Amino acid sequence: MIADERTAELARNLQAVRSRIERACADAGREPATLIVVTKFFGAADVHRLAGLGVRDVGENRDQEASDKQAECMDLDLIWHFIGQLQTNKAKSVVRYADLIHTVDRRSLVTALDKAAARLDKVQDVLIQVNLDPQVRPERGGIDPAELDALVEHVQQAASLRLRGVMGVGPLGEDPAPAFARLAQAAADVRRAQPAADVISAGMSSDLEVAVAYGATHLRIGTAVMGSRPTVGYRRSKGGKNNEGEAQ
């Protein structure tokens, strides 16, 4: 385990986030929700630090970055979550390393992921992303809740995909509660079609308590653990060095 100042910072942040989650789950009378630490923009060295601190679930939102980083973390026993908007031409790449893909939101993507998973002889776990904006905004990803049932059926027909639940991103600059209530409704609709699909991925650094109150089972936490994201993007480390310079 790496013992340096950055590790100490991550340890402090993790402790604070874990106690927020514990308190929120206790208030809701629920089992502890799973913490996914969103490591986008931060290098593989930080992922190693997190693993040393007991983190098991990490989240990434861009294929190139995630695939490079995962290759540098083969020695770690981690669960990789893909949480970003996904183009169909990236399906083949993402199924190689993602344990759970949170952002399935259209038929063409279902078809592409199913084909890619079949080619690897893999059953790919997926969530359907539901758009939670009061007026559906396609550029933010997620299916219109009105079209959810049809997409659920499509995923169920995909032999190499396994539907595990739903995912949502709280609307920008609005009260997250009504949005997470809509997601809870969508989750109930999905469970009616597929009872074992009990995952609700919702809640970020600023709204995790509200998400837990509305049933979130998986929380995607970036900033509150990692600190502010750097403006310079992640670049693959060269020659075994990490990219800390860029990632702070």
Ligand X SMILES: *Cc1c(COP(=O)(O)O)cnc(C)c1O
Task: Point out which residues bind ligand X (CB under 6 A).
Answer: 38, 40, 61, 83-84, 169, 204-206, 220-224
| Residue whose pair of structure tokens reads 């089972």 in the numeric block | 217
Of the pair 98, 204, the CB lying nearest ligand X is at 204
- Taking CB atoms, the residue at the shortest distance from ligand X is 222
Q: Angle 117-119-125 (CA atoms, 0-180°, nearest 5)?
A: 10
- Chain CA centroid to CA 78, Å: 13
Least distance CB 150 / ligand X (angstroms): 23
Which residue lies nearer to ligand X by CB, 117 or 169? 169
**What's the min distance (Å) between Cβ of 173 and ligand X?**
13
Minimum separation from the CB atom of position 124 to ligand X (A): 18
Q: In terms of CB distance, is 190 or 221 closer to ligand X? A: 221
Q: Quickly tell me which residue has 């910072």 as its tokens.
A: 9
Least separation in angstroms between CB 136 and ligand X: 17
Q: Which H/E stretch holds residue 162? A: strand 161-167
Q: Which is nearer to ligand X, 184 or 224 (CB)?
A: 224
